[in-house]
Amino acid sequence: MLGSTGRRHGNLQKHLNPNPLQRYLLRRFHRRVVELVRQTQPSCLLDAGCGQGFTLRALQQAGLNIPTTGADLDGESLAWGRSHGLTRSPLVMADVLRLPFADGSFDLVLCLEVLEHLADPGRGLSELLRLTRRYVLVSVPHEPWFRLANLLRGKHVAALGNDPEHVQQFSAAALRRLVAAQAELLWHGTSFPWQIALLARRA
């Protein structure tokens, strides 16, 4: 099996793709994430499922000078991040379902483009909420638009546009149902072809 840096699809390939439209969509997505992080005014944050650290890098480039930590199960992805300049954030190899931090360790927990990979996204969300004192920020592909965009560019046609690593499909209503079961939904919006939700722990 190919490692994360050798796959023909996935997070690294998504961010390094030279296609100008894809690069524009990713820049817009990261700008929205940075805006939402600024609004929460965290004193520290965790990026759970950080991959190669592209979001952590975007936060640093935006001038958010707060302690940030990244966690991901893929050690190869973390090594790539470290070797490409992500040195200001501790990077921990850990499963997003069993993160090695105490309850309420962070003001804000990010989990971007991860829940769609989990067989039990509710369990994943529960772990994120355990770790936050205040907020959780999640994103997932916005279906069916994400798959439609893939089909229009001839990607994953045999799977009707679904990424082979995605085991969950989230419409806007499906994401709201997942959140409502455990947390308070503060904001829900889109940055095509993704949707983003800012959550708070219930009192």
From the number of C-beta atoms within 10 Å of its C-beta (0-12, 13-18, 19+), residue 155 rates as middle
Task: Supply the CATH number for residue 49's domain.
Answer: 3.40.50.150
Cα–Cα distance measured from residue 70 to residue 146, given in angstroms and rounded to the nearest whole number: 26
| 27 falls within a domain | yes
Is the torsion defined by CA of 89, 92, 98, 101 positive or negative?
negative
Range of the domain at 27: 22-36+44-60+80-159+191-203
pLDDT in tens, 38-55: 999 999 999 999 999 999
pLDDT band with cut points at 50, 70 and 90 for residue 138: very high
- Tokens 């079961």 label which residue? 181
In whole angstroms, give the CA distance from residue 112 to residue 134.
17
**Which is nearest to 10 in space by CA: 156, 158, 133, 176?**
156
Its pTM stands at 0.91
Three-state DSSP state, 189: strand
Residue 6 lies in a domain: no
Look up residue 82 and give its amino acid.
R
Q: How confident is the model at residue 2 (pLDDT cuts 50, 70, 90)?
A: very low
Does any domain span residue 30?
yes
Residue 3 has pLDDT above 50, yes or no: no
Q: Does 26 reside within a domain?
A: yes
For residue range 182-202, list pLDDT tens digits in order.
999 999 999 999 999 999 999
Is 90 exceeded by the pLDDT of residue 99?
yes
In a domain, 147, yes or no: yes
Distance CA 30, CA 59 (A): 8
Q: Which pLDDT score is estimated for 146?
A: 85
Q: How many CA atoms lie within 13 A of 76 on its CB side?
A: 8
Provide the 8-state DSSP code for 184. Answer: E
Confidence at residue 6, expressed as pLDDT on a 0 to 100 scale: 43
How many distinct structural domains can be found in the chain? 1
Q: Indicate the DSSP class of residue 117.
A: G
Q: Average pLDDT for residues 31-39, to the nearest whole number?
A: 98
- The share of the chain scoring above pLDDT 70, in percent, equals 96
